[in-house]
Structure 1
C-alpha cells in the first residue's frame, strides 16, 4: 500500500480546499474557505514546531498522501485542549422526574442543559476521506493514526478525549435540530449558520442561546429525533470510535445535535495496545498486518505494513519501510489492524 499519514503543510492547502468542498455542509473542522483553512495550517505548523513544554491549546493537522502520486486524499485533526480561548459548550441530555400525589402520576421530562463539562479535554476530529478512496481501510488508517500520534506525544494531550460527530442533515442541506431549536433564536437558516460557524466557530451560538434547560417535548418531532444521532455518513466513524473504547455519555453538539463521544485517553484501544520496537531487519510481506508509526512532530509518519517479532525487535516489510522512509535500526510504534 502506498498511502501514508503525515503532518500537513501549507502546500496541502489546495488539496484540503478541494476536499472541503465535498463535505456537504455541517463539517465545521473542514470549511470550504481558503482563509480559514490557511489559518488552521498556520496554527498546526506552530504546534509541530514546538518541542516540549507544558500542555497548551494546540491544533495538529494530518493528511493522507498517496506516495505514488503525491495526491492528498484525506485529512484529520487533533486538538490538544479544547475550551481555552472560548468556553467549550455542549448540551447534556438529562431527565427531570416529578410526581403528583393528587394525580398519582410520575412525569419524566427529558431536558437539554448547556454545559462546559468537557472543557480541557483533547479532541480528535476533522476526519474526511476523499469519496474516491473509501475502500481498503484508509478511513481506519486515518482515524487510528491519530491515536498513535497521541501515544508518541502523550504529554501534549489531556487525560480525557472526545470526538464530535456531525449530526443529521436533511436532503435540502438543513438541520432538523437547528431548525427546531437554535434557528428560532438567530434568524438565520442552517446553511448560513453553518458557513459562519465553520469560519468563526460556534461561540456566537453559545453567546445567544438561552442558558436555561430546554425541554425536548417542546421541540418538533424531527428536531427531537435528531438529538444524539450521527449523520448517515458518520455511522461508520461512530462504530470505529466505539471499537476504540469511546462511548456516548449524553453530550450533544449545540449546533446540529450530533453525538459527542468520550473516552479516557490512556484507555483508547490503539493508545493502550501500541507497542514500541526497533526494526532489526527488512524483508518481504510476511508477518501480521498492523499500523506502523515512526517519528515525532513534523517527522511523524504512519502507514499499514506487515511486521513480525524477532528477538528484541521486529522485522518490517520492505514496502512499508519505503513508504515511511525508514530503514533498519529505526524505532517504530505498532498496533494490530482491527
Structure 2
C-alpha cells in the first residue's frame, strides 16, 4: 500500500470525525464534534491560501491518505504561533528550597506556577494514526511530515517549537491531575473543561485559578503521580520527539498534567537535515528517505528511496508517481 501526506480538504471531514471518536478523550486538537472540526478545516484552508510567506496566526491540517483506496487514515496539525487568539498557559514545575539552621535541615518543595512563557512559539500537535495502520513507519511519516512542512515554509514559523503530549486519563475518561488541581475551582469535570477549551480557549483558567504557586505536596497522590507523564499511548510519540531533539523543560499541560516538549525550530533534526535538490533521474534503488514536493496546498510527502548523483537526486519510480514529479523538478528529502 502507498501513503502520502497532503493538505486536508473539506471532503475529509467525516474521516477526521471518525478518527476523533477513536481518540478516547483528552485530545484537544481533535475533538469529536463536527462543527469544531469544520471550523478548524476552514481556518486551515485560510492558512494554506495565505500568500504572505511570514508568520501569522495559522493552523495547517494535514492528512495521511492511502492512495490505493482513497481513505484518510491519519492526521496531524501545525500551529504557527500559539497564544495569538487567547493566552497560552502552562504550569511550570519548579523546586523551592528552604533551610532551617535551628533544625539543621533543608527542605525542597515542588511547586506548579501558571505561566505563559511559551506564548508565540510554533506547535506541532493533533497527530492521530488510525489503529489499523500502526505499522510500517506511518506514525513516523505523519510526525516528521510536520517538520518537512516547516522546513519547506520556514519563514512562517517561530524560533521555538513545542509539542503537548496528552497526560494520563483514567478508564472513566477523567484526569487525575484535573481532579486534583483545576477541577477543584471550576465545577466541571475534565471532559467538559477540555471540550470548552477546544472551542473557547483557556482564558477561563487564568480568570478563575489562583495566581500563587501550588505546592505539589498538597495535592492528592493520584494527581501528584501523573505530573509530567504522557498517556501510555503517547510514550512512542514522546520518544519520537526526543529523537528529533525535543526536551522536557518541566512545563506541563494545565488540564491533564501531560508534558510539554520544546526545541529550537532550526535544531529539530528533520528541519536541520532536510535538503532540496533537483531530480536528475528516476530509477529503482537508493536509501530509504522521506521525500516532499510542492508548497502549501500542493505540499505532499511520502516514503521513498533516494540517492545523490550529479549534484541532484535520483528517486524511485513509485515515489515520483505519488508526488507527481519528473526529472528536472525540485524535491526536499531527508533520510529515514
The 2-side partners of 1:210 and 1:324 are apart by 52
Deviations 1:78-116 (A, max 9, x none): 000111121110000001111112211111110000111
Give me the whole-angstrom Cα distance separating, in 1, the residues matched to 2:197 and 2:88: 14
Corresponding residue number in structure 2 for 1:149: 149
Aligned to 2:91: 91
Measure the CA separation in 1 of the matches of 2:192 and 2:85.
Answer: 24
Q: CA deviation at 1:210?
A: 1.3
Counterparts in 2 of 1:256-335, with a 5 A limit?
Answer: 256-284=256-284, 286-335=285-334
Cα distance in structure 2, aligned partners of 1:206 and 1:325: 48
Asked if the contact 1:26/1:166 (under 8 Å) is kept, the reply is yes
CA distances 1:112-146 after superposition (whole Å, capped 9, x unpaired): 00111101100000000001000000000000000
TM-score normalized by structure 2? Answer: 0.98
The separation in 2 between residues aligned to 1:116 and 1:319, in whole angstroms, is: 46
Q: Distance in 2 between matches of 1:132 and 1:18?
A: 13
- Following TM superposition, the consecutive aligned residue runs of length 4 or more in structure 1 with deviations greater than 4 angstroms are none
Q: Which runs of 5+ in 2 are unaligned?
A: none
The answer to whether the Cα contact below 8 Å between 1:33 and 1:199 also exists between their aligned partners in 2 is no
Q: CA deviation at 1:184?
A: 0.5
Trace 1:117-196 onto structure 2 (pairs within 5 A).
117-196=117-196
User: CA separation in 2, counterparts of 1:306 and 1:106?
Assistant: 58
Q: How does 1:34-113 map to 2 (within 5 A)?
A: 34-113=34-113
Other structure's SS at 1:281 match: strand
Compare 258-267 and 272-281 and name the one that shifted more: 272-281
State which drifts further: 26-35 or 53-62.
53-62
Specify the SS of the correspondent of 1:320: helix
Partner deviation per Cα, 1:29-70 (whole Å, 9 max, x = no partner): 000000100110000001001112531111000000001111
TM-score if structure 1 supplies the norm length? 0.98
CA distance in 1, matches of 2:18, 2:291: 28
Give me the whole-angstrom Cα distance separating, in 2, the residues matched to 1:163 and 1:274: 20
- 5+ long unaligned stretches in structure 1: none
Contact 2:252 2:259 in 1 (8 A): yes
C-alpha offsets along residues 142-178 of structure 1, whole Å, 9 cap, x if unaligned? Answer: 0000001000100000000000000000111110000
How far off its partner does 1:336 sit?
0.5
Q: CA RMSD in A?
A: 0.9
- The residue number in structure 1 matching 2:254 is 254
For 1:229 and 1:64, the matched residues in 2 are separated by 28
SS at match of 1:226: coil
CA distance in 2, matches of 1:84, 1:141: 29
CA separation of 1:153 and 1:2: change in aligned 2, threshold 3 A: same
CA distance in 2, matches of 1:201, 1:326: 41
Deviation at 1:189, TM superposition (A): 1.5
In the other structure, the counterpart of 1:213 is 213
CA change 1:123–1:67 in 2 (3 A) is same
* 1:199 to partner: Cα distance: 2.9
Is 2:321 the partner of 1:336?
no
Q: Distance in 2 between matches of 1:4 and 1:118?
A: 32
Q: 2: CA distance between counterparts of 1:271 and 1:53?
A: 17
Partner of residue 21, structure 2: 21
Q: Per-residue CA shift, 1:210-255, capped at 9, x if unaligned?
A: 1110000000001001100000000000000000000000000001
Alpha-carbon distance between aligned partners in 2 of 1:200 and 1:320, rounded to the nearest angstrom: 41
Q: SS at the partner of 2:225? A: helix
